[in-house]
Structure 1
Amino acid sequence: MAHAAWKWVVVAAAVGAGVLACSDDDDGGGGGTDGGPITFDAGVNKQRPGFGEDPGAPVGTTFAFPPGVEIAGELYGANDSTKDCGNGVAPVGTGPAVLVCVPLRNNTGAPVLMTFEPGLVMMNTAPSRIQNGMLMDRVLINLPPTGIGPGGIDAGTDGGTEEEVYVVPFHLYCLNQERAPSEQDGTFAFGPVSTDPDIQELLRLLRGKTIDNEDEANVVQDAIYSITEYNGLTDDDRKALAGL
Protein backbone atom coordinates (compact mmCIF):
# COMPACT_ATOMS: atom_id res chain seq x y z
CA MET A 1 0.00 0.00 0.00
CA ALA A 2 1.20 3.48 -0.76
CA HIS A 3 1.93 5.99 1.94
CA ALA A 4 -0.66 8.68 2.51
CA ALA A 5 -0.31 11.73 0.29
CA TRP A 6 -3.42 13.39 1.67
CA LYS A 7 -5.01 14.35 4.96
CA TRP A 8 -8.50 14.98 6.22
CA VAL A 9 -10.11 16.40 9.34
CA VAL A 10 -11.66 13.82 11.62
CA VAL A 11 -14.97 14.86 13.13
CA ALA A 12 -15.93 12.55 15.98
CA ALA A 13 -19.54 12.33 17.15
CA ALA A 14 -20.47 12.03 20.80
CA VAL A 15 -21.70 8.62 21.87
CA GLY A 16 -23.55 7.99 25.14
CA ALA A 17 -22.32 9.94 28.14
CA GLY A 18 -19.69 12.02 26.39
CA VAL A 19 -17.69 9.12 24.99
CA LEU A 20 -16.36 9.76 21.50
CA ALA A 21 -16.50 7.12 18.81
CA CYS A 22 -13.54 6.77 16.48
CA SER A 23 -15.71 6.67 13.36
CA ASP A 24 -18.67 8.77 12.28
CA ASP A 25 -20.19 5.87 10.31
CA ASP A 26 -23.84 5.21 11.09
CA ASP A 27 -23.90 1.46 10.56
CA GLY A 28 -21.60 0.52 13.43
CA GLY A 29 -19.13 -1.15 11.09
CA GLY A 30 -20.36 -4.67 11.69
CA GLY A 31 -21.31 -5.78 8.21
CA GLY A 32 -24.73 -4.20 7.84
CA THR A 33 -25.34 -3.43 4.17
CA ASP A 34 -28.35 -1.12 3.97
CA GLY A 35 -29.26 -0.03 7.47
CA GLY A 36 -30.88 -3.41 8.18
CA PRO A 37 -29.92 -5.84 10.92
CA ILE A 38 -26.25 -6.71 11.26
CA THR A 39 -25.44 -10.29 10.32
CA PHE A 40 -22.32 -12.40 10.60
CA ASP A 41 -20.77 -14.98 8.32
CA ALA A 42 -20.79 -17.63 11.04
CA GLY A 43 -20.50 -18.22 14.75
CA VAL A 44 -20.38 -15.62 17.48
CA ASN A 45 -18.19 -12.62 18.19
CA LYS A 46 -14.57 -13.58 18.73
CA GLN A 47 -12.67 -12.46 21.80
CA ARG A 48 -9.61 -10.50 20.75
CA PRO A 49 -7.51 -8.90 23.53
CA GLY A 50 -6.97 -5.17 22.99
CA PHE A 51 -9.55 -4.99 20.18
CA GLY A 52 -13.03 -3.54 20.64
CA GLU A 53 -13.88 -3.72 24.34
CA ASP A 54 -12.00 -6.97 24.97
CA PRO A 55 -9.49 -6.57 27.83
CA GLY A 56 -5.80 -7.34 27.60
CA ALA A 57 -2.98 -6.66 25.17
CA PRO A 58 -3.19 -7.60 21.48
CA VAL A 59 -1.62 -10.89 20.48
CA GLY A 60 1.31 -10.74 18.09
CA THR A 61 5.05 -10.70 17.58
CA THR A 62 7.31 -8.11 19.17
CA PHE A 63 8.49 -5.43 16.77
CA ALA A 64 12.27 -5.75 16.32
CA PHE A 65 14.30 -2.58 15.86
CA PRO A 66 17.48 -2.73 13.78
CA PRO A 67 20.77 -2.73 15.73
CA GLY A 68 21.59 0.78 16.90
CA VAL A 69 18.00 2.07 16.56
CA GLU A 70 15.65 2.58 19.49
CA ILE A 71 12.66 4.52 20.75
CA ALA A 72 13.89 7.89 22.05
CA GLY A 73 11.08 8.63 24.50
CA GLU A 74 7.37 8.23 25.05
CA LEU A 75 5.07 8.09 22.05
CA TYR A 76 2.44 10.85 22.04
CA GLY A 77 -0.59 12.09 20.12
CA ALA A 78 0.08 14.35 17.13
CA ASN A 79 -1.05 17.97 16.86
CA ASP A 80 -4.86 18.16 16.71
CA SER A 81 -4.93 20.78 13.96
CA THR A 82 -1.94 19.98 11.74
CA LYS A 83 -1.98 16.17 12.24
CA ASP A 84 1.81 16.11 12.45
CA CYS A 85 4.56 16.37 15.04
CA GLY A 86 5.66 19.93 14.27
CA ASN A 87 9.08 19.06 12.89
CA GLY A 88 8.49 18.90 9.13
CA VAL A 89 8.56 15.09 8.91
CA ALA A 90 5.79 13.89 6.60
CA PRO A 91 3.18 11.54 8.12
CA VAL A 92 3.23 7.86 7.17
CA GLY A 93 0.25 5.53 7.01
CA THR A 94 -3.31 6.18 5.84
CA GLY A 95 -5.31 5.88 9.05
CA PRO A 96 -7.64 8.80 9.77
CA ALA A 97 -7.98 9.03 13.53
CA VAL A 98 -5.13 7.58 15.63
CA LEU A 99 -2.23 9.94 14.99
CA VAL A 100 0.90 9.09 16.96
CA CYS A 101 4.32 10.79 17.11
CA VAL A 102 7.12 8.22 17.36
CA PRO A 103 10.54 9.58 18.44
CA LEU A 104 13.40 7.47 17.09
CA ARG A 105 17.11 7.45 17.91
CA ASN A 106 19.72 6.17 15.45
CA ASN A 107 23.07 5.58 17.16
CA THR A 108 24.80 3.95 14.18
CA GLY A 109 26.34 7.13 12.75
CA ALA A 110 24.81 6.46 9.32
CA PRO A 111 21.29 6.41 7.82
CA VAL A 112 19.25 3.27 8.47
CA LEU A 113 16.40 2.13 6.22
CA MET A 114 13.67 0.91 8.55
CA THR A 115 10.59 -1.13 7.65
CA PHE A 116 7.43 -0.92 9.73
CA GLU A 117 5.19 -3.86 8.90
CA PRO A 118 1.41 -3.67 8.47
CA GLY A 119 -0.39 -4.96 11.54
CA LEU A 120 1.82 -2.98 13.95
CA VAL A 121 -0.21 -1.88 16.98
CA MET A 122 0.32 1.24 19.08
CA MET A 123 -1.35 1.10 22.47
CA ASN A 124 -3.01 3.97 24.30
CA THR A 125 -1.45 4.36 27.76
CA ALA A 126 -3.32 7.50 28.85
CA PRO A 127 -6.15 7.19 31.41
CA SER A 128 -8.74 8.53 28.96
CA ARG A 129 -10.72 6.17 26.68
CA ILE A 130 -8.52 6.59 23.61
CA GLN A 131 -8.16 4.12 20.74
CA ASN A 132 -5.42 1.65 20.21
CA GLY A 133 -4.21 2.11 16.62
CA MET A 134 -2.95 -0.18 13.86
CA LEU A 135 -0.71 0.49 10.87
CA MET A 136 -2.21 -1.04 7.72
CA ASP A 137 0.59 0.03 5.35
CA ARG A 138 4.14 -1.24 4.91
CA VAL A 139 6.16 1.87 5.74
CA LEU A 140 9.81 2.49 4.83
CA ILE A 141 11.67 5.25 6.69
CA ASN A 142 15.22 6.35 5.93
CA LEU A 143 16.23 7.22 9.48
CA PRO A 144 19.10 9.74 9.70
CA PRO A 145 21.77 9.35 12.37
CA THR A 146 20.92 11.12 15.59
CA GLY A 147 23.06 14.18 16.19
CA ILE A 148 23.44 16.99 18.68
CA GLY A 149 22.11 20.43 17.92
CA PRO A 150 22.20 23.84 19.64
CA GLY A 151 19.72 24.79 22.32
CA GLY A 152 18.48 23.51 25.64
CA ILE A 153 16.95 25.42 28.53
CA ASP A 154 20.01 24.86 30.69
CA ALA A 155 22.43 26.33 28.18
CA GLY A 156 25.72 27.52 29.59
CA THR A 157 28.18 29.98 28.17
CA ASP A 158 28.63 27.82 25.06
CA GLY A 159 24.92 27.88 24.26
CA GLY A 160 24.27 24.29 25.36
CA THR A 161 23.36 21.26 23.28
CA GLU A 162 20.42 18.89 22.95
CA GLU A 163 19.82 15.63 21.14
CA GLU A 164 18.03 15.89 17.79
CA VAL A 165 15.82 12.82 17.65
CA TYR A 166 13.75 12.02 14.56
CA VAL A 167 10.01 12.13 15.28
CA VAL A 168 7.74 10.38 12.77
CA PRO A 169 3.95 10.97 12.66
CA PHE A 170 2.12 7.65 12.18
CA HIS A 171 -1.47 7.77 10.91
CA LEU A 172 -3.18 4.63 12.19
CA TYR A 173 -6.59 2.96 12.02
CA CYS A 174 -8.92 2.51 14.99
CA LEU A 175 -9.14 -0.77 16.90
CA ASN A 176 -11.83 0.19 19.44
CA GLN A 177 -14.93 1.61 17.81
CA GLU A 178 -16.55 3.09 20.90
CA ARG A 179 -13.47 4.98 22.06
CA ALA A 180 -12.14 8.39 21.13
CA PRO A 181 -9.60 9.30 18.45
CA SER A 182 -6.11 10.15 19.62
CA GLU A 183 -5.69 13.39 21.52
CA GLN A 184 -2.78 15.79 21.28
CA ASP A 185 0.05 14.75 23.64
CA GLY A 186 -1.87 11.70 24.88
CA THR A 187 0.55 8.86 25.57
CA PHE A 188 1.05 5.64 23.59
CA ALA A 189 3.40 2.67 23.60
CA PHE A 190 4.60 0.24 20.95
CA GLY A 191 2.54 -2.92 20.80
CA PRO A 192 3.08 -6.08 18.78
CA VAL A 193 2.63 -6.80 15.09
CA SER A 194 -0.76 -8.53 15.14
CA THR A 195 -0.93 -12.21 14.27
CA ASP A 196 -4.73 -12.32 14.47
CA PRO A 197 -5.78 -14.54 11.51
CA ASP A 198 -8.62 -12.22 10.46
CA ILE A 199 -6.30 -9.20 10.49
CA GLN A 200 -3.86 -11.23 8.42
CA GLU A 201 -6.62 -11.98 5.90
CA LEU A 202 -7.42 -8.27 5.69
CA LEU A 203 -3.76 -7.43 5.10
CA ARG A 204 -3.58 -9.99 2.30
CA LEU A 205 -6.63 -8.42 0.64
CA LEU A 206 -4.96 -5.00 0.86
CA ARG A 207 -1.70 -6.02 -0.82
CA GLY A 208 -1.12 -3.97 -3.93
CA LYS A 209 -3.94 -1.55 -3.08
CA THR A 210 -3.54 2.20 -2.61
CA ILE A 211 -5.66 4.30 -0.28
CA ASP A 212 -6.03 7.71 -1.88
CA ASN A 213 -8.99 9.37 -0.14
CA GLU A 214 -11.30 9.33 2.86
CA ASP A 215 -13.90 7.05 1.25
CA GLU A 216 -11.28 4.39 0.59
CA ALA A 217 -9.93 4.69 4.12
CA ASN A 218 -13.47 4.21 5.41
CA VAL A 219 -13.66 0.90 3.52
CA VAL A 220 -10.56 -0.26 5.37
CA GLN A 221 -11.82 1.03 8.72
CA ASP A 222 -15.20 -0.69 8.31
CA ALA A 223 -13.41 -3.95 7.54
CA ILE A 224 -11.30 -3.56 10.69
CA TYR A 225 -14.45 -3.00 12.77
CA SER A 226 -15.98 -6.19 11.36
CA ILE A 227 -12.98 -7.92 12.95
CA THR A 228 -12.50 -5.96 16.17
CA GLU A 229 -16.17 -5.55 17.11
CA TYR A 230 -17.74 -8.63 15.51
CA ASN A 231 -16.86 -12.03 14.10
CA GLY A 232 -14.63 -11.21 11.14
CA LEU A 233 -14.70 -9.96 7.58
CA THR A 234 -18.03 -10.23 5.77
CA ASP A 235 -18.63 -10.89 2.09
CA ASP A 236 -19.55 -7.21 1.73
CA ASP A 237 -16.19 -6.22 3.26
CA ARG A 238 -14.33 -8.43 0.81
CA LYS A 239 -16.23 -7.02 -2.16
CA ALA A 240 -15.56 -3.44 -1.04
CA LEU A 241 -11.87 -4.18 -0.52
CA ALA A 242 -11.62 -5.77 -3.95
CA GLY A 243 -12.95 -2.54 -5.43
CA LEU A 244 -10.17 -0.37 -3.99
Structure 2
Amino acid sequence: MSTSLIERFHSVQDRIRQACLHSKRLPESVHLLAVSKTKPIEDILTLAENGQTCFGENYVQESLLKIAQSPELEWHFIGPIQSNKTKPIAEHFDWVHSVDRLKIAQRLSSQRPANLAPLNILLEVNISEEASKTGFSPDETIEIANEISQLPNLCLRGLMAIPQKAVNIEAQRVPFALMRMLLQTLQKQNPNAPLDTLSMGMSGDLEAAIMEGATMVRIGTDIFGARDISSNA
Protein backbone atom coordinates (compact mmCIF):
# COMPACT_ATOMS: atom_id res chain seq x y z
CA MET A 1 0.00 0.00 0.00
CA SER A 2 2.86 2.37 0.77
CA THR A 3 4.10 2.10 -2.81
CA SER A 4 0.76 3.09 -4.34
CA LEU A 5 0.38 5.87 -1.77
CA ILE A 6 3.75 7.34 -2.74
CA GLU A 7 2.98 6.95 -6.42
CA ARG A 8 -0.25 8.89 -5.99
CA PHE A 9 1.57 11.51 -3.92
CA HIS A 10 4.18 12.02 -6.64
CA SER A 11 1.45 12.14 -9.28
CA VAL A 12 -0.27 14.99 -7.44
CA GLN A 13 3.04 16.82 -7.07
CA ASP A 14 3.54 16.49 -10.81
CA ARG A 15 0.04 17.84 -11.51
CA ILE A 16 0.84 20.88 -9.39
CA ARG A 17 4.12 21.43 -11.20
CA GLN A 18 2.49 21.12 -14.62
CA ALA A 19 -0.34 23.50 -13.66
CA CYS A 20 2.21 26.02 -12.40
CA LEU A 21 4.23 25.80 -15.59
CA HIS A 22 1.07 26.25 -17.66
CA SER A 23 0.19 29.32 -15.59
CA LYS A 24 3.75 30.69 -15.70
CA ARG A 25 4.06 30.36 -11.94
CA LEU A 26 6.88 28.97 -9.84
CA PRO A 27 5.99 25.50 -8.52
CA GLU A 28 7.06 26.52 -5.02
CA SER A 29 4.36 29.22 -5.04
CA VAL A 30 1.72 26.51 -4.45
CA HIS A 31 1.73 24.48 -1.24
CA LEU A 32 0.24 21.01 -1.08
CA LEU A 33 -1.97 20.28 1.92
CA ALA A 34 -2.51 16.52 2.23
CA VAL A 35 -6.04 16.00 3.57
CA SER A 36 -5.57 13.08 5.91
CA LYS A 37 -8.95 12.93 7.65
CA THR A 38 -10.06 9.35 8.36
CA LYS A 39 -6.66 8.06 7.24
CA PRO A 40 -4.26 6.20 9.57
CA ILE A 41 -1.20 7.75 11.12
CA GLU A 42 0.92 5.20 9.25
CA ASP A 43 -0.01 6.81 5.92
CA ILE A 44 0.78 10.26 7.30
CA LEU A 45 4.17 9.14 8.55
CA THR A 46 4.93 7.52 5.19
CA LEU A 47 4.22 10.79 3.40
CA ALA A 48 6.23 12.72 5.98
CA GLU A 49 9.21 10.46 5.29
CA ASN A 50 8.85 11.45 1.63
CA GLY A 51 8.86 15.18 2.27
CA GLN A 52 5.21 16.11 2.95
CA THR A 53 4.94 18.31 6.05
CA CYS A 54 1.42 19.80 5.99
CA PHE A 55 -1.70 17.78 6.78
CA GLY A 56 -5.39 18.73 6.93
CA GLU A 57 -7.91 17.29 9.36
CA ASN A 58 -11.67 17.66 9.81
CA TYR A 59 -12.47 15.85 13.04
CA VAL A 60 -11.12 17.16 16.33
CA GLN A 61 -10.85 13.98 18.39
CA GLU A 62 -9.31 11.97 15.57
CA SER A 63 -6.83 14.71 14.76
CA LEU A 64 -5.66 15.16 18.35
CA LEU A 65 -4.51 11.55 18.44
CA LYS A 66 -2.52 12.07 15.25
CA ILE A 67 -1.02 15.37 16.38
CA ALA A 68 0.14 13.75 19.62
CA GLN A 69 2.09 11.20 17.60
CA SER A 70 3.59 13.74 15.16
CA PRO A 71 3.63 17.21 16.74
CA GLU A 72 6.52 18.27 14.52
CA LEU A 73 4.30 18.28 11.43
CA GLU A 74 2.22 21.29 10.39
CA TRP A 75 -1.45 20.65 11.18
CA HIS A 76 -4.35 22.44 9.50
CA PHE A 77 -7.96 22.25 10.66
CA ILE A 78 -10.21 22.42 7.60
CA GLY A 79 -13.60 21.18 8.83
CA PRO A 80 -16.69 22.88 10.23
CA ILE A 81 -16.08 24.37 13.67
CA GLN A 82 -18.50 23.98 16.55
CA SER A 83 -18.21 26.51 19.35
CA ASN A 84 -17.49 23.80 21.91
CA LYS A 85 -14.52 22.56 19.88
CA THR A 86 -12.61 25.83 19.50
CA LYS A 87 -10.38 25.28 22.56
CA PRO A 88 -8.62 22.10 21.38
CA ILE A 89 -8.33 23.58 17.88
CA ALA A 90 -6.75 26.75 19.26
CA GLU A 91 -4.38 24.72 21.43
CA HIS A 92 -3.14 22.17 18.92
CA PHE A 93 -3.35 23.42 15.33
CA ASP A 94 -1.06 25.67 13.31
CA TRP A 95 -3.69 26.78 10.79
CA VAL A 96 -7.49 26.97 10.62
CA HIS A 97 -9.07 27.24 7.16
CA SER A 98 -12.74 27.28 8.10
CA VAL A 99 -13.43 30.42 10.14
CA ASP A 100 -16.98 31.26 9.11
CA ARG A 101 -18.25 33.41 12.01
CA LEU A 102 -16.87 36.28 14.06
CA LYS A 103 -17.74 34.35 17.24
CA ILE A 104 -15.51 31.46 16.17
CA ALA A 105 -12.60 33.81 15.48
CA GLN A 106 -13.04 35.48 18.86
CA ARG A 107 -13.07 32.15 20.68
CA LEU A 108 -9.98 30.91 18.84
CA SER A 109 -8.15 34.11 19.74
CA SER A 110 -9.10 34.02 23.42
CA GLN A 111 -8.25 30.31 23.72
CA ARG A 112 -4.90 30.35 21.90
CA PRO A 113 -2.18 29.59 24.48
CA ALA A 114 0.13 32.51 25.18
CA ASN A 115 3.24 30.41 24.65
CA LEU A 116 2.28 29.62 21.05
CA ALA A 117 2.64 31.79 17.97
CA PRO A 118 -0.54 33.45 16.70
CA LEU A 119 -2.88 30.98 15.01
CA ASN A 120 -2.90 31.33 11.23
CA ILE A 121 -6.49 31.57 10.03
CA LEU A 122 -8.38 31.81 6.76
CA LEU A 123 -11.88 33.14 6.30
CA GLU A 124 -14.20 30.63 4.65
CA VAL A 125 -16.03 32.26 1.76
CA ASN A 126 -19.26 30.87 0.32
CA ILE A 127 -18.15 32.10 -3.08
CA SER A 128 -20.90 30.31 -5.01
CA GLU A 129 -23.46 31.55 -2.46
CA GLU A 130 -24.96 28.09 -1.98
CA ALA A 131 -27.70 27.84 0.65
CA SER A 132 -26.37 24.48 1.82
CA LYS A 133 -22.88 25.78 2.63
CA THR A 134 -21.46 27.85 5.45
CA GLY A 135 -19.08 30.74 5.04
CA PHE A 136 -19.11 34.48 4.64
CA SER A 137 -20.56 36.03 1.51
CA PRO A 138 -18.02 38.11 -0.46
CA ASP A 139 -19.51 41.33 0.91
CA GLU A 140 -19.47 40.01 4.47
CA THR A 141 -15.83 38.97 4.03
CA ILE A 142 -14.80 42.52 3.19
CA GLU A 143 -16.76 43.88 6.16
CA ILE A 144 -15.51 41.38 8.75
CA ALA A 145 -11.86 40.97 7.72
CA ASN A 146 -10.64 44.15 9.38
CA GLU A 147 -12.31 43.30 12.68
CA ILE A 148 -10.97 39.76 12.71
CA SER A 149 -7.48 40.90 11.75
CA GLN A 150 -7.36 42.95 14.99
CA LEU A 151 -7.84 39.92 17.27
CA PRO A 152 -4.63 39.54 19.27
CA ASN A 153 -3.78 35.85 19.02
CA LEU A 154 -4.70 35.28 15.39
CA CYS A 155 -2.91 35.99 12.14
CA LEU A 156 -5.33 36.49 9.25
CA ARG A 157 -3.55 34.98 6.25
CA GLY A 158 -6.26 34.93 3.58
CA LEU A 159 -9.27 33.08 2.27
CA MET A 160 -10.59 29.56 1.70
CA ALA A 161 -13.43 28.33 -0.50
CA ILE A 162 -15.08 25.17 -1.79
CA PRO A 163 -16.97 26.36 -4.89
CA GLN A 164 -19.93 24.63 -6.43
CA LYS A 165 -18.88 21.78 -8.70
CA ALA A 166 -18.54 22.71 -12.36
CA VAL A 167 -18.59 20.68 -15.54
CA ASN A 168 -15.32 21.88 -17.13
CA ILE A 169 -12.17 23.78 -16.33
CA GLU A 170 -13.46 27.04 -17.79
CA ALA A 171 -16.48 26.96 -15.47
CA GLN A 172 -14.27 25.90 -12.55
CA ARG A 173 -12.12 28.98 -13.03
CA VAL A 174 -14.96 31.47 -12.57
CA PRO A 175 -15.41 31.24 -8.77
CA PHE A 176 -11.66 30.88 -8.27
CA ALA A 177 -11.15 34.13 -10.18
CA LEU A 178 -13.70 35.80 -7.90
CA MET A 179 -11.73 34.55 -4.89
CA ARG A 180 -8.52 35.99 -6.31
CA MET A 181 -10.14 39.38 -6.82
CA LEU A 182 -11.65 39.27 -3.32
CA LEU A 183 -8.24 38.65 -1.77
CA GLN A 184 -6.77 41.49 -3.85
CA THR A 185 -9.47 43.79 -2.47
CA LEU A 186 -8.60 42.79 1.10
CA GLN A 187 -4.89 43.30 0.40
CA LYS A 188 -5.54 46.85 -0.79
CA GLN A 189 -7.65 47.62 2.28
CA ASN A 190 -5.13 46.07 4.67
CA PRO A 191 -1.69 46.75 3.13
CA ASN A 192 0.18 45.83 6.33
CA ALA A 193 -1.55 42.50 6.89
CA PRO A 194 0.11 39.24 5.73
CA LEU A 195 -2.76 38.36 3.40
CA ASP A 196 -0.87 35.92 1.22
CA THR A 197 -2.96 32.74 1.11
CA LEU A 198 -5.71 31.44 -1.15
CA SER A 199 -6.68 27.93 -0.05
CA MET A 200 -8.71 26.58 -2.96
CA GLY A 201 -8.59 23.65 -5.31
CA MET A 202 -9.05 19.97 -4.54
CA SER A 203 -8.55 16.67 -6.35
CA GLY A 204 -10.99 17.48 -9.15
CA ASP A 205 -10.15 21.12 -9.82
CA LEU A 206 -6.62 21.91 -8.65
CA GLU A 207 -5.52 22.97 -12.16
CA ALA A 208 -8.26 25.61 -12.42
CA ALA A 209 -7.48 26.86 -8.92
CA ILE A 210 -3.76 27.24 -9.68
CA MET A 211 -4.56 29.10 -12.89
CA GLU A 212 -6.46 31.64 -10.80
CA GLY A 213 -3.89 32.13 -8.07
CA ALA A 214 -4.31 29.39 -5.47
CA THR A 215 -1.37 29.29 -3.07
CA MET A 216 -2.53 26.15 -1.27
CA VAL A 217 -4.43 23.18 -2.69
CA ARG A 218 -6.15 20.64 -0.43
CA ILE A 219 -5.81 17.13 -1.82
CA GLY A 220 -7.18 14.02 -0.17
CA THR A 221 -8.64 11.44 -2.55
CA ASP A 222 -5.94 11.65 -5.21
CA ILE A 223 -3.25 11.04 -2.58
CA PHE A 224 -4.86 8.65 -0.11
CA GLY A 225 -7.36 6.97 -2.41
CA ALA A 226 -11.15 6.89 -2.28
CA ARG A 227 -12.76 7.39 1.12
CA ASP A 228 -15.48 5.40 2.77
CA ILE A 229 -17.39 8.58 3.55
CA SER A 230 -18.11 11.72 1.57
CA SER A 231 -15.09 13.98 1.16
CA ASN A 232 -14.51 17.67 0.58
CA ALA A 233 -10.97 17.24 -0.67
Structure 2 length normalisation: TM-score? 0.23
Structure 1 length normalisation: TM-score? 0.22
Instruction: State the structure with bigger RCO (CA 8 A, min sep 6), 1 or 2.
Output: 1
- By percentage of residues, which structure has more helix? 2
